[in-house]
Every structure is written in C-alpha cells, then in structure tokens.
Amino acid sequence: MKEKSTLKPAWPAYAFLLAVLVAGVLAFRHFHGSPRLEPLHSQSQSPLYETGDKPVTIYIKAVALESGKMVNAAATIRQSKSRVNQMKQAILAYLEGSRKGPVQVPVPEGTALNEFYFTPTGAAVADLSVSQVKRERVGFYEETLFVRGLIETLTGNFFEVKQVKILVDGQDQPTLFGHYALATSEASMPVTENSNGKF
C-alpha cells in the first residue's frame, strides 16, 4: 500500500521567506541607509541684489494715524533674481519704514531681522531680534499691528507666501513682546469667520 505523502509543496514557504527578506532589506535601507531628504529651506543670500537690478515698487503695511486704519505705503526694492531675496528686502523695507508723518509703520523701534527663510510649502519664516526693543512701551494693540503688518506685507506682495512664521532669535516663542500669541501666526490667519460671528 502506497503511503500518502504528508509533505506539501515547498514554494509557499520560500515565497514567504523571500518576502520577509525583501521587507527586511527595505526596512534596513529606510532606517539605516542613505539619509532621508528633509524639505529644503531656501535662505536669503548676500548680496540681496546686484547693482544692475531694476527697482520695483511694493506695498508695505502702515497705519494712517488719523483714522487708525492699516493702509498700503509704497516702498522700493530691487528686482533681484531670487524671490527669497526679494521677500527679505520687503521685510527690511517694512522694518525700516517711516515712523514720522501721517502714515507710519507699526514697527517697535529696535526690531531687527536676523534671517529669512522660505520653505517649499510656502511658509515664510522671519527670524527676528527684539532684544533692543523697549518692551515696556509696546502694548497689545501695537504688537498686533506689527505682526499683522508683517504678515500682510509678505502675503500682499508675494503670491507664493501661504503662511508666515515668526521666530525670535531662532527660537519658537509664545509672543514677541508679551501679548499677541504667536503660535497662531504660523497660519497667516487664525480665524475664518465673517463679521457676523459665523463660520
């Protein structure tokens, strides 16, 4: 009498082992192989523009003192090849805008730009220094105007800017001067609501 073989074909086991091996190799390469590429951050580069670059008019945000409203004020930057350099020029134009006359920039004196970055996701990152600002002179209203003005100067002139993030000396900080909560300025606008209080 012929004995019935209990051995099953071996190929499913080999296939399983092969799959495990391939998965192992892939996992190893993922965790220990070539480094993962982080999104590149474009940093502004010196010089911000060349001598021959044409002047171009942009609009920075300022406050009309008589009405208290935010208005556009013309400023000139150079049309350098790098958009990131143009953005940095726009921020510098805002920070160095006029603090005299009927239309003034709401920039606390002593505020400076350390560095500027632009990410592929459209986030403009302004690294500010406020160590020279007299904090005891800057209230919530002025702080809000300053942050809003910076955001709107960037988003108003550069369509690529989807978000604005503010750092203080390279660090995430809750506020610039103690009042306006910066966490939400990562999204350029914290609220989507109309004036009737409806979303």
Interface with other proteins by CB under 8 A: which residues? 63, 65-72, 99, 104, 106, 108-109, 136-142, 144-145, 148, 151-152, 154-156, 161-162, 164, 172, 174-175, 178-181, 183-197, 199
Q: How far is the CB of 95 from other proteins (least distance, A)?
A: 14
Which is nearest to 105 in space by CA: 92, 114, 117? 92
Q: How far apart are CA 98 and CA 154, in angstroms?
A: 18
The Cα–Cα gap between 164 and 184 comes to: 10
Q: How many CB atoms lie within 10 A of CB 44?
A: 21
- We find the least distance from the C-beta atom of residue 155 to other proteins, in angstroms, to be 4
CA separation for the pair 58, 73 (Å, rounded): 8
Q: Report the nearest approach of other proteins to the CB of residue 160 (Å).
A: 11
Nearer to other proteins among residue 53 and residue 186 (C-beta): 186
Q: Is the Cβ of residue 45 or residue 184 nearer to other proteins in the bound state?
A: 184
Count of other CB atoms within 10 angstroms of residue 70: 15
CB of 166 vs other proteins, minimal distance in Å: 12
CB of 57 to other proteins, least distance (A): 18
Nearer to other proteins, 52 or 68 (CB): 68
Q: Among residues 47 and 170, whose Cβ is nearest to other proteins?
A: 170
- CA dist., res. 149 & res. 151, Å (int): 5
**How far is residue 189's CA from residue 179's CA, in Å, rounded to a whole number?**
17
Task: Give the dihedral of Cα atoms 79, 85, 88, 92; nearest 10 deg.
Answer: -50
Judged by beta carbon, residue 89 or residue 188, the one nearer other proteins is 188
